[in-house]
A and B are shown apart, each in its own frame.
Chain A
């Protein structure tokens, strides 16, 4: 049975006017909730679950899939414009995206995100249609030891974002890792750093940390300097991507797809680690490393493509094995079950109309997302012309709304403010914010994988050695040794790209007029940096 023939039948199902309407409603809603911080696709789907009682199963799933994809895309909008990522998958987008917006290139950032999402979503959906069963089987072979190796690789990459002062960079990383420790330890059941506060028992949501450090910290910082610093006018650039933007975007889109799709397919792969890996990959490969930290378009194109590809990847284990690997997929599973359909290994055989209709609607939804969002990009970008005092008030409002909406708990507001205060102090004392966020993302993943791997091997370190993990460790060693090797190679001057790029990020995060502390610090930190 040809998958393509089945897919055509699927298009027959999905292209009915009714289903088209549901797909449109889905992407519209998805984009809206992606834009609103705090309300994620999982929660929206859960709230819309009662709809499944009134709709035919295919229509409901088509709409839900639209929400899933739309949410992945929509999160980028606030990340770029307001530095307030709405979803954990778009935290990394904020790093370069918001810099671009500050330079008057918000429209381009939004456009590359929209087109990148479309390209990645389409390719990944095609992979889903053609390779799902094979990918799912391979994905199951990836154990915690392999995952840990990949995270080690990610940690090595962290060095490239530490900033000009290694000590401060590591201190910020340590802060992030510490925040990541908060909560009940899943292995032993012991509470860590919860101080007896039940709200902290599940750990601190990455979105709250990111919004607190990025947006609230920056708003406080701006407020503290608003009267003294000269008013910076955000330039209004052209509304479209230039030829150069296209040239610099298409490779990151494809690389992002290649990184995101497999991560989505691996159970518990998530979108955070692949988006970060995409970011550091683009940074290493870019011909314009000096722009990183000042709004490099590659830094938006890559991660945005990655998170959409991982969304499609997440449907692989769901449809082929009945395994939900994300919260959103888990709710899709519940939705399928309310129709009395048991998703599982036999779904492709027992419900071909449903599966292929769903896959076809993903293509349609993707196209709709592009059509819907591309014209909106220049309009969104105008938002930044709002005078700064009002703009930051709006950002604070949105941040608070998002933090509150996650749990409807006033506690989260205090938490947001506390983390925002931390973000302010970090700026004041020249600690880069980026390593802290990376610490929060990577720390818990690394710990969990390492401990699971060692538990399974009953404490034997040999449990960390698998063919895949060894391959990754070899790459790690190569990455570490590369600068040395390059220095030994004749004829090529050793270019300290890394430290230069790191310097840029440091600078960008203590932006808005450098403080005395940062400038003073640079004198100290600069010494060990000089090649």
Chain B
């Protein structure tokens, strides 16, 4: 075994102390705004509208760590405020009008949730900073499923949608719910007839697929790639524009379905901040994105780079909201 270094132990002890005193969750961050053009930004807080350990949480913590590692920022505090698919956190961010030290980790799920929860606060109220990463969704069936190709699946699906239940790990409005609905729409099937089974987390969904309880699943490629490699499940198609590296499956477009749809994650800031402050956040995130460490983090976590900032991100956000609202509207959820 490797020998323990004193530093490692200290890290452990300090972290332990933090947990015991509850500092990690409740402490208010410093109020000083990062001002220096040269020095690292300080006093930044990142709100995660989801539980510790969730996808957003991991992303936010990796972003914070990368920024600190490359000395772009110091003492970033990542805190969680979960609830209602992220809309509780969204409301909080919108309430912090003009607070230039608060960022929020978000993604496609928050877009959907803001409609299904009829949230008062919307993403249009926030200041978009950047889209960071995206993950393709997979259309996946059990290994001994009768469906060998996407065509076979869609044929059976259109013939009797009720008898072909599809599972996903998100509530209505989330990525795994939107994927089969958009897919149905794209292949000419009425989304309201889709038999969507919502599972509480990727683990339960995967169990249902492995246990042959549902006809197919729609979920993030990362949730099923390892099982597909081991031959326990079969990925019929991925929803991204390009095939996913290391996954032996065609894209929907390859299979003749006109749909490109990915689950993405990005960062927004509080409303009412000045243009300079917005630009400073955009610069900060851009510098982080260009760092070696971030590229390394992308690889470690299996994320696909989908960097988009400022106005382009705003535009994308608008289009995505429109698309989500339309499909949820058809389902009577928005």
Please report A residues at the B interface, Cβ cutoff 8 Å: 13, 16, 18-19, 21-22, 25, 29, 32-33, 36, 39, 42-51, 53-56, 63, 139-144, 184, 186-189, 191, 198-199, 201-202, 267-268, 317, 321-325, 327, 329-331, 334, 337-338, 340, 342-346, 404-405, 407-409, 452, 455-456, 458-459
Contacts and interface: CB of A to CB of B under 8 A. Distances in A.
A51 B52 contact: no
A334 B229 CA distance: 19
B84 A43 contact: no
B131 interface: no
A277 B186 CA distance: 47
B284 interface: no
Contact of B53 (A16, A49, A202): A49
Interface string B82-96: 111101100100000
Contacts of B171: 184, 186, 189
Given A33-B19, A48-B15, A456-B213, 10 more contacts: A25-B12, A25-B16, A43-B25, A46-B57, A48-B19, A140-B210, A189-B331, A321-B227, A405-B22, A408-B81
A9 B173 CA distance: 48
Contacts of A201: 83-85, 87-88, 117
B230 to A, nearest CB: 4
Contacts of A18: 1-4
Interface string B313-334: 0000000000000000001010
Contact of B206 (A32, A44, A321, A334): A321
Contacts of A53: 65
Interface string B139-159: 000000000000000000000
B91 A51 contact: no
A138 to B, nearest CB: 10
Interface in B69-106: 79-85, 87-88, 91
Contacts of A141: 211
B202 A324 contact: yes
Nearest to B8: A54
Nearest to B53: A331
B226 A267 contact: no
A74 B1 CA distance: 30
Contact of B82 (A45, A324, A407): A407
Nearest to A63: B12
A202 B89 CA distance: 13
A29 to B, nearest CB: 5
B300 A338 contact: yes
A453 B162 CA distance: 13
Nearest to B57: A46
Interface stretch (B32-40, B192-200, B256-264, B274-282): B192-200
A340 B297 CA distance: 10
Nearest to A323: B203
B52 A317 contact: no
A139 B24 CA distance: 37
Contacts of B18: 47
A257 to B, nearest CB: 23
Contacts of B213: 143-144, 456
Contacts of B187: none
Given A49-B53, A56-B2, A202-B83, A337 B301 contact: yes
A233 B285 CA distance: 62
Contact of B200 (A43, A54, A56, A186): A186
A410 to B, nearest CB: 12
B1 A198 contact: no
A409 B200 CA distance: 23
B232 interface: yes
A50 B26 contact: no
Contacts of A345: 226-227, 230, 232
B4 to A, nearest CB: 4
B241 interface: no
Given A39-B22, A334-B58, A184 B207 contact: no
B204 A268 contact: yes
A458 B204 contact: no
Contact of B91 (A36, A198, A344, A408): A198
B87 A198 contact: yes
B51 interface: yes
Contacts of A198: 83-84, 87-88, 91, 117, 119
7 contacts: A19-B1, A25-B12, A143-B208, A184-B85, A202-B82, A202-B83, A408-B79
B236 interface: no
Nearest to A329: B203
Contacts of A346: 226, 229-230
A3 to B, nearest CB: 20
B119 A456 contact: no
B251 interface: no
Contacts of B7: 54
Interface string B56-68: 0110010001000
A268 B4 CA distance: 37
Contacts of B227: 321-322, 344-345
Given A18-B4, A39-B22, A330 B83 contact: no
Contacts of B24: 47
Contact of B116 (A54, A184, A199, A407): A184
A214 B45 CA distance: 37
A344 B8 CA distance: 28
A44 B52 CA distance: 9
B43 to A, nearest CB: 19
B19 A408 contact: no
A317 B88 contact: no
A455 B161 CA distance: 11
A454 B213 CA distance: 12
A142 B206 CA distance: 13
Contact of B84 (A202, A322, A337): A202
B15 A342 contact: no
State the 5 A-B residue pairs at the shortest beta-carbon distance, nearest first.
A46-B52, A189-B172, A201-B84, A344-B226, A267-B207
A45 to B, nearest CB: 7
Contacts of B8: 54-55
A490 to B, nearest CB: 47
A344 B20 CA distance: 33
Contacts of A338: 300-301
B204 A46 contact: no
Nearest to A345: B230
Nearest to A14: B1
Contacts of A459: 162
B30 interface: no
A380 B216 CA distance: 52
Nearest to B161: A458
B165 interface: yes
A206 B85 CA distance: 19
A196 to B, nearest CB: 8
A16 B53 CA distance: 29
Contacts of B214: 456
B320 to A, nearest CB: 19
Contact of B1 (A13, A25, A140): A13
A47 B52 contact: yes
A94 B227 CA distance: 40
Nearest to B64: A50
B163 interface: yes
A210 to B, nearest CB: 20
Interface string B208-231: 101101100000000001110110
